[in-house]
Amino acid sequence: MSTHAVTLAFVGLEPKRVDVQVQLAGGQHGIVIVGLGDKAVSESRERVRAAFAALGLAVPAGRVIVNLAPADLPKEGAHYDLPIALALLGEIGVLPRDALESALAFGELGLDGSLAPSPGALPAAMAAHAMGLKFICPAASGAEAAWADCDLVAAPSLIALVNHFKGSGHIRPPVRGDLVEGAAIPDLRDVKGQEQAKRALEIAASGGHNLLFVGPPGSGKSMLAQRLPGILPPLSAAELLEVSQIQSVAGLIDRGQLTRRRPFRAPHHSATMAALVGGGLRVKPGEASLAHQGVLFLDELPEFAPQALDALRQPLETGEVAIARANHRVVYPAKAMLVGAMNPCRCGGGTGVGMCRRGPRCAIEYQARISGPLLDRIDLQIDVPPVTAADLALPPPAEGSAEARARVEAARGAQSMRGEALGLGRDFVNARAEAALLDRIAAPDEGGAALLAKAAESLALSARAYHRTMRVARTIADLDGAGGVRRVHVAEALSLKRVWAGQQSGMVGAAS
Ligand SMILES: Nc1ncnc2c1ncn2[C@@H]1O[C@H](COP(=O)(O)OP(=O)(O)OP(=O)(O)O)[C@@H](O)[C@H]1O
Ligand SMILES: [Mg+2]
Ligand SMILES: [Zn+2]
């Protein structure tokens, strides 16, 4: 005879049903947990034993075998405590066995029998809903789980749960967490001058383009990047759940509060590859996934470890992070806009135009820290010149983030319709258009085509740079409310392009 409870394991964001089977066997006293559990799972023994003691119950004598099935699926985390404890309570007759069949349990036990939240309550509750099961979780996870619209019991402790099942205690249904605004984002109005950089920011936001600001210290690069979330449209309802699931797995949701504000992640340049793209012993989403549907800001881009930057190429290309494990593959979504900022050279680039006391070599060496393939993925690469005293003396600009955001939203609307017409989904942005698609959606008019051909020849544009220009021109046309890409759109796209040190002489071949 054995008793079953249901819980789940995550492979990335994908929930996999796990059956917890508890059986009493004679012989040596002790709890044995089998089924590829990690350290947290094996330590569950001690927490379950202590929680039983707190209930005034003893773990039955003899061997208690806990089997987590399927056996070949790795199990990580402390949320197995609750299903193990419930199945054991069923096995010793404290709980009716059938009560456990229709529920999915997910939570950690404290030594005193209290229930503590585990990361991933939101996707777990959504999975329970999809499986037609009631979701049993700690009270502290209730506000988050309630977003899943599932049948929900959020209990403060194991004893409260036992009383609930026996009908002798009532657990109040949890209230869903609030939809919050989040901390105030600074306004674009604070940035004086830098008209081209602001325009580039708006174009990037509109088309979801990756963007790199290159300029001397104090020119406002970080200031500009930090204002990007303020001009991006809010997350759609579907995106909100998608983004929140990642945050839930990363344990970043506070009191069940979700926000439609797009994520903005700014990891320090000392971040490891695992921190940036995910991975490590227990696979957690990295910064690229935490920035899903939002912005990944890498300030001082060349200071990041080259391997870490290289690892970003795949997510930038495919919109997801894939991490290979011994016997499976973990995938997290990672459709983020990459925004980078850097000085033209290691010593800052002084106040001249990209020059310093050490001459162009300094810039060339510094820029070489960013690989060609990464740079190829950045549609907008622009110079941010030093701010002048005259700029700083200007009155605040008439337009701020609200005006820019309205234009961005309109341009995104046009792309949504395009994505729908092409069967690429409503969240389509021009930045995701492959070269083959560009011919269909971004072919310029005659004048534009002529200009593009001329520029391709005189500036020796590589095929990649050519396509980057077309993508950006398409977005500029969308911002203009234009159906087709015209000469002016191509001209502006061509103007938003920095010349890398050594480029003409072919010293930085990749940075075409
Ligand atoms: N265009 C600007 N308008 C108003 N203030 C500015 C502008 N540019 C810079 N500043 C001021 O200078 C400060 C530094 O700007 P910021 O940190 O954005 O520079 P940066 O380009 O990122 O420099 P670094 O290369 O050193 O990181 C800002 O906090 C702001 O007070
Ligand atoms: Mg900065
Ligand atoms: Zn230098």
List the structure tokens of 137.
């979780």
Would you say 379 and 472 are in contact if contact means Cβ atoms under 8 Å apart? Answer: yes
Is the pLDDT score of 10 beyond 80? yes
**Position 354 pLDDT exceeds 60:** no
Secondary structure class of 391 (helix, strand, coil): helix
Q: Tell me which CATH homologous superfamily contains domain 188-495.
A: P-loop containing nucleotide triphosphate hydrolases (3.40.50.300)
Site to probe by mutation for ligand 1, drawn from 192, 223, 342, 343 as the one with most ligand atoms within 8 Å of Cβ, is 223
- Per the CB < 8 A criterion, the answer to whether 109 and 47 are in contact is yes
Distance in Å, CA 453 to ligand 2 centroid: 36
Q: Which atom of ligand 1 is nearest to the CA of 225?
A: 18
In this predicted structure, the answer to whether residue 397 has a pLDDT above a threshold of 50 is yes
User: Which mutation among 190, 194, 201, 219 tests ligand 1's pocket best, with the greatest number of atoms within 8 A of CB?
Assistant: 219
For residue 341, which atom of ligand 1 is closest to its CA? Answer: 22
Average pLDDT (160-180) is: 93
Atom nearest to 194 CA in ligand 1: 1
**For residue 26, what pLDDT is reported?**
85
Nearest CA to ligand 1 atom 5: 191
Q: Is 472 helix (H, G, I), strand (E, B) or coil?
A: helix
- Closest ligand 1 atom, residue 342 Cα: 25
DSSP bridge partners of 339: 211, 297
Prediction pTM value = 0.93
Q: What mean pLDDT comes out for the span 62-69?
A: 96
The pLDDT of residue 48 is 97
Per-residue confidence (pLDDT) for residue 508, from 0 to 100? 40
Is residue 310 exposed (0-12), middle (13-18) or buried (19+ Cβ within 10 Å)? middle
Contact 381, 214 (CB under 8 A): yes
- Separation between Cα atoms, residue 230 and residue 141, nearest integer Å: 30
The predicted-structure confidence for 179-224, as pLDDT tens digits, reads as follows 998 888 999 999 999 999 999 999 999 999 999 999 999 999 999 9
Q: Give mean pLDDT, residues 13-37.
A: 93
pLDDT digit string (tens) for 451-494?
999 999 988 888 888 999 999 999 999 999 999 999 999 999 99
What pLDDT sits at residue 506?
41
Choice among 236-245, 278-287, 500-509 with the minimum mean pLDDT: 500-509
361 Cα to the center of ligand 3, angstroms = 8
Residue 355: the pLDDT is 60
Region 290-305 average pLDDT: 97
Inform me whether the pLDDT recorded for 512 exceeds 60.
no
Assess whether pLDDT exceeds 50 at residue 169. yes
Instruction: Give the per-residue pLDDT at 507.
Output: 38
What's the rounded mean pLDDT across residues 138-165? 96
Element (H, E) at 46: helix 44-54
Ligand 1, atom 18: closest residue by C-alpha: 220
What's the CA-to-centroid distance between 348 and ligand 1, angstroms?
A: 13
Yes or no: say if 311 and 273 are a contact pair by the CB < 8 Å rule. Answer: yes
Is the predicted pLDDT of residue 510 greater than 70, yes or no?
no
With 80 as the cut, is the pLDDT of residue 350 above it?
A: no
Pocket of ligand 1 (CB under 6 A): 191-194, 215, 217-223, 341, 343, 387, 392
pLDDT interval class at 329 (50, 70, 90): confident
192, 194, 222, 392: residue to mutate for ligand 1 pocket, most atoms within 8 A of CB: 222
Long-range contacts of 508-511, Cβ-Cβ distance < 8 Å, separation of 24 or more: 508/364, 508/367, 508/368, 509/372, 510/371, 510/372, 510/373, 510/375, 510/376, 511/367, 511/370, 511/372, 511/375
Query: If you average pLDDT over every residue of the chain, what do you get?
Result: 92
Closest CA to 97 of 87, 83, 85, 107: 87
Contact 302, 511 (CB under 8 A): no
Nearest CA to ligand 1 atom 14: 218
* Each residue's pLDDT tens digit, 402-419: 999 999 999 999 999 999
In whole angstroms, what is the distance from residue 177 CA to residue 244 CA? 12
pLDDT value at 174 more than 80: yes
**Where exactly are the structural domains of the chain?**
3-166, 188-495
**CA distances, 63 to each of 60, 136, 287, 304, 398 (Å):** 8, 27, 44, 52, 75
In tens, the pLDDT along 39-50 reads 999 999 999 999
> How far is it, in rounded angstroms, from Cα 263 to Cα 488?
33
The CATH number that domain 3-166 falls under is 3.30.230.10
Find the distance separating the first CA and the last CA of the chain, reported in whole Å.
Answer: 69
Counting ligands in written order, the one closest to the CA of 215 is 1
How confident is the model at residue 461, as a pLDDT? 82
Q: How far is Cα 354 from Cα 172, in angstroms, rounded to an integer? A: 64
Q: Which two tokens stand for residue 489?
A: 């759109």
Helix (H) or strand (E) holding 179: strand 179-180
